[in-house]
Amino acid sequence: MGGYIFSGLTPPFGSNWSSAYKRQQKISETYSFALDTWGSGSMSRFGKGFKTTIQVRLIHALVRRNLLRKNNWKLDEWGIPINQTDMLASYTGPATLAWGAIAQGVPITPSEQTAVIHNSALVGWLLGVKEEWIAHNTKDLITKMIHAYATHTIGDESSRIMAQSLINEPLSREYAGNTWLRRRLDYTSHLSISNFYLPKKIRRKLQIKQVPPIKPLITVPSQFLWHTGQRIWPGGKMRLIKSGEENQRKLDSMYKSYSALANAINADHAASVTNN
């Protein structure tokens, strides 16, 4: 959510998120791609994540081609679509997942943090990020993140569109029962987390509704106790891994269920060869 405040990252996709269907497809695509790159062995040569990353690189090339052909693309202001700086800022997002886990109360060891950074580094390199912009440790990652985000201006209309789309995404989810209630709970939960972690200035710029940050205040301590106990208990870490993978697969299936064309390039997709 906070990444949308940097307006340079949003123009290639902001206009494509104006409808519920579009945001469902985009979120499904993004989550499915991330999930492909996380699995054990998935980033080995011709592994699932490896092949998906190459596919995304080709999609980026098509998006650049299409946007540069449009008269409304502000080249002097926005630069080349999905350029080196944009890709650097994007690939460092998954590299910070370990920090996000810690902020949610999940203990992560230094070696696990480094492993996440290395995995993201390979994904970034395959996407086309030059080697001098690839980070291999926490200090280097922070430095490169500061460099990347310093090139972007703060917030514009496309930033607000994407932020609002992500906020409203839970209201489009489909459940087997109690759909209305579960949608509202997920929606409120998302707002609660955003209000807890994002500074007031960013929330105001993205027009994020203010709600009490109840969920993180309740769940962070319990998460820490649960995960710490599982890591101490024999076999607990493996149980956490299996449980996490199952939850990720369920979320992926849910996203795909309400986005029939997830991972497909249709005529309206930003990368479509007919989208000139």
State pLDDT tens for residues 198-236: 888 888 888 888 889 888 889 999 999 999 999 999 999
- What pLDDT does residue 80 have? 84
Give the pair of three-digit tokens for residue 25. 């497809």
262 found inside a domain: no
266 found inside a domain: no
pTM of this prediction?
Answer: 0.81
- What pLDDT does residue 240 have? 92
Domain of 248?
A: 2-257
Tokens 């709970």 map to which residue? 185
27 and 255 Cβ atoms separated by less than 8 Å: yes
CA distance 235 to 149: 41
CA distance 145 to 147: 5
Average pLDDT of the residues in 72-86: 81
263 found inside a domain: no
38 found inside a domain: yes
- What pLDDT does residue 181 have? 94
Q: What total number of domains does the chain contain?
A: 1
268 found inside a domain: no
175 found inside a domain: yes
Q: With pLDDT > 70 as the criterion, what percentage of the chain qualifies?
A: 84
Which H, E and C letters describe the chain, residue by residue? Answer: CHHHHEHHHCHHHHHHHCCHHHHHHHHHHHHHHHHHHHCCCCCCCCCHHHHHHHHHHHHHHHHHHHHHCCCCCCHHHHCCCCCHHHHHHHHHHHHCHHHHHHHCCCCCCHHHHHHHHHHHHHHHHHHCCCHHHCCCCHHHHHHHHHHHHCCCCECCHHHHHHHHHHHHHHHHCCCCCCHHHHHHHHHHHHHHHHHHHCCHHHHHHHCCCCCCCHHHHHHHHHHHHHHHHHHHCCCHHHHHHHHHHHHHHHHHHHHHHCCCCCCCCCCCCCCCCCCC
272 found inside a domain: no
CA distance 135 to 141: 5
The mean-pLDDT minimum among 42-56, 89-103, 225-239 falls in 89-103
267 found inside a domain: no
